[in-house]
Structure 1
Amino acid sequence: MRGLRREFGGRAVIDGLDLTVAPGEFVALLGRSGCGKSTLLRVLAGIDLDVAGAVSVPRRRAVAFQEPRLLPWKRVWRNVALGLRGEDARGRVLAALDEVGLDHRVDAWPLTLSGGEAQRAALARALVREPDLLLLDEPCASLDALTRLRMQALIADLWERHAPAVVLVTHDVDEALALADRALVMSDGVISEDVAIHAARPRRPADPEILALRAHLLELLGVPTPAAS
Structure 2
Amino acid sequence: MNQLVDLARPITQEKWASRAPFEQAPLAVSVSGLERRYGSRVVIEALDLDIHEGEFVALLGESGCGKTTLLRALAGLDAPDDGQIDAPGRPAVVFQEHRLLPWAPVWANVALGHENSVGRAGATRALAEVGLAGREDDWPRNLSGGQAQRVALARALVREPKLLLLDEPFAALDALTRIKMHALVRELVARHRPGVLIVTHDVDEAIVLADRILVMRAGQIAASYRPADHGQGELRRQLLEELGVTAH
TM-score, length of structure 1 as denominator length: 0.92
The whole-number CA distance in structure 1 between the counterparts of 2:115 and 2:145 is 28
Deviation at 1:51, TM superposition (A): 2.6
The whole-number CA distance in structure 2 between the counterparts of 1:91 and 1:136 is 25
Query: Is 1:125 aligned with 2:147?
Result: no
Structure 2 counterpart of 1:26, from 56, 59, 72: 56
Structure 1 segments unaligned to the other structure (5+ residues): 200-207
Distance of aligned partners of 1:7 and 1:88 in 2 relative to their CA distance in 1, 3 Å threshold: closer
The correspondence of residues 56-205 of structure 1 with structure 2, limited to 5 A, is 56-86=86-116, 89-198=119-228
Query: Is 1:217 aligned with 2:239?
Result: yes
Partner of 1:205 in structure 2?
none
**Is contact 2:101-2:109 (8 Å) kept?**
yes
Report the more deviating stretch, 88-97 or 155-164. Answer: 88-97
The whole-number CA distance in structure 2 between the counterparts of 1:188 and 1:88 is 41
Deviation at 1:88, TM superposition (A): 5.0
SS of structure 2 residue aligned to 1:33: coil
Partner of 2:6 in structure 1?
none
Partner of 1:36 in structure 2?
66
Structure 2 segments unaligned to the other structure (5+ residues): 1-30
Percent identical: 58
SS of structure 1 residue aligned to 2:213: strand
Distance of aligned partners of 1:189 and 1:88 in 2 relative to their CA distance in 1, 3 Å threshold: closer
**Is contact 1:60-1:130 (8 Å) kept?**
no
Partner of 2:43 in structure 1?
13
AA in 1 matched with 2:246: P
The whole-number CA distance in structure 2 between the counterparts of 1:67 and 1:12 is 27
AA in 2 matched with 1:214: R
TM-score, length of structure 2 as denominator length: 0.85
Aligned residues, how many?
218
Distance of aligned partners of 1:220 and 1:115 in 2 relative to their CA distance in 1, 3 Å threshold: same
The whole-number CA distance in structure 2 between the counterparts of 1:135 and 1:218 is 23
The whole-number CA distance in structure 1 between the counterparts of 2:78 and 2:46 is 16
AA in 2 matched with 1:96: A
Provide the alpha-carbon RMSD of the alignment. 1.3
SS of structure 1 residue aligned to 2:52: coil
